[in-house]
Amino acid sequence: MGEKIALRAVVPVELDGERLDQVAAALFPDYSRSRLQSWIKKGELLAEGESRRPRDKVMAGTVVTIDTELEQAVGWQPQAIDLDVVFEDDDILVLNKPAGLVVHPAAGHAEGTLVNALLARAPELANLPRGGIVHRLDKETSGIMVVARTLAAHHSLVEQLQARSVSREYCAVCVGALTGGGTIDQPIGRHPKQRKKMAVLAVGGKPAITHYRVVQRFGHHTHIAVNLETGRTHQIRVHMAYRHNPLIGDPVYGGRPRIPKGASDELIETLRGFRRQALHARALGLDHPSTGEAMRFECPIPTDIAQLLAILEREDPPLRHDAPAY
């Protein structure tokens, strides 16, 4: 049997006149649009106690309720995959995800994902939205993640993420010698032509705010620490590429490797051979869902990025002011 769900929310003024399925997605962000639509069609998601169609418009002040049982995720099979668990209790599980591991099963990745591994370690996660996942890392991004183990913990973590009270710090290595840190406040949405990519959009994008500071500047590259206020898909990668400082190795937003003039064979080989975006989720801060205790988790920089930084320090020293860049 799945976990019982009984939720209630009131349609705010800003959603007045919108479709019921769109309103439900805004009011209950823990659950996917397809799942909410299924509950509407089954009569388990009601507006003012009445069954409606997903496309029906609802007015501000309407009471929307959900009374259902969360079915187990179909087709997600547990797999014995080693996980680097940083912390674990009855409410949450914190882990260090390696680069190359997909988070969710999907077309082309039905097996061998983080969710498959989590289900083998904690079978109860099959009863939770998205297998307990409350935020994601791209396949080739490594680092710290938190997973909810109960529905209450899931609600708490989603609320903290929406309130932007969860601190997330990343280690990244970008192209270009930055002179200082800054903030990128540019909306992000689906690329208008290349639908698998995201982009900064003047119209139609969602708010996205990225703060970055310089950790170490090299001749043609910079090691930066990045903090996110929002969590848009590919946010750091898109924002850094937008300011013409893409991450080293980024196959989607980085273009061809930029080789500095006079680069050594070792530096050329390193830049051309780094096959993933140089991005690592280094630290995560949150309030424990049950105790309210402020918690912070960290994981070390992985070997490949550490080796990259060591080679840049040795082979790409800071430039003289009159030296050519590329």
For the chain, which residues make up each domain, given as ranges? 3-70, 84-162, 167-315
Q: In the block, which residue shows the tokens 């991005």?
A: 279
d(CA 262, CA 160): 48
3-state secondary structure of 240: helix
- CA gap 302, 313 in Å, rounded: 17
Q: What is the pLDDT of residues 47-57, one digit of tens each?
A: 999 999 999 99
pLDDT digits (tens, 9 = 90+) for 140-180: 999 999 999 999 999 999 999 989 999 999 999 999 999 99
| Mean pLDDT, rounded, for 275-280 | 97
Q: Do domains 84-162 and 167-315 have the same CATH topology?
A: yes
CA atoms within 13 A on the CB side of 58: 31
Token pair recorded at residue 324: 């050519």
pLDDT at 204: 83
- Give the model's pLDDT for residue 71: 60
Per-residue model confidence as pLDDT tens digits over 187-245:
999 888 887 899 999 888 889 999 999 999 999 999 999 999 998 999 999 999 999 99
Percent of the chain at pLDDT exceeding 90: 79
The answer, as to whether pTM is greater than 0.85, is: no
Asked if the 84-162 domain carries CATH number 3.30.2350.10, the reply is: yes
How many whole angstroms separate alpha carbon 88 and alpha carbon 91? 8
Q: What is the DSSP string of 108-129?
A: TBSSSSHHHHHHHH-GGGGGSG
Going by pLDDT thresholds of 50, 70 and 90, the confidence category of residue 324 is low
Decide if pLDDT at 323 tops 90.
no
The CA–CA distances, whole Å, from 85 to 82, 117, 146, 167 equal 9, 12, 10, 19
CATH 3.10.290.10, applies to 3-70: yes
Distance CA(236)–CA(232), nearest Å, equals 9
Name the CATH superfamily, with its identifier, for domain 167-315. Answer: Pseudouridine synthase (3.30.2350.10)
Residue 147 parent element (H or E): strand 142-148
Average pLDDT over the chain, rounded to an integer: 92
Q: Is 145 exposed, middle or buried (0-12, 13-18, 19+ CB in 10 A)?
A: buried
103-130 mean pLDDT: 88
Question: Among this protein's residues, is 138 annotated catalytic?
Answer: yes
pLDDT score, position 75: 64
What is the tens place of the pLDDT at every residue in 71-86? 655 568 899 999 999 9
Q: Give yes or no for residue 315 having a pLDDT over 70.
A: yes
What is the band of 107 on the pLDDT scale with cuts at 50, 70, 90?
Answer: low
Considering the candidates 138, 185, 304, 316, report the single residue annotated as catalytic. Answer: 138
* pLDDT of 139: 95
pLDDT tier at 111 (50, 70, 90 boundaries)? confident
Q: 211-227 burial by CB neighbour count: b if 16+ within 10 A, else e?
A: ebeeeebbbbbbbbbbb
Half-sphere exposure of 284 (CA within 13 A, CB side): 27
Q: What pLDDT, on the 0 to 100 scale, is given for residue 1?
A: 47
What confidence tens digit (pLDDT) does each residue in 29-41 have?
878 787 899 899 9
Q: How confident is the model at residue 21 (pLDDT cuts 50, 70, 90)?
A: very high
Give percent above pLDDT 70 in the chain: 95
Q: Distances in Å between the alpha carbon of 293 and those of 67, 113, 143, 283, 286?
A: 31, 30, 22, 17, 8
For the ranges 65-74, 127-136, 244-253, 279-288, which has the lowest average pLDDT? 65-74
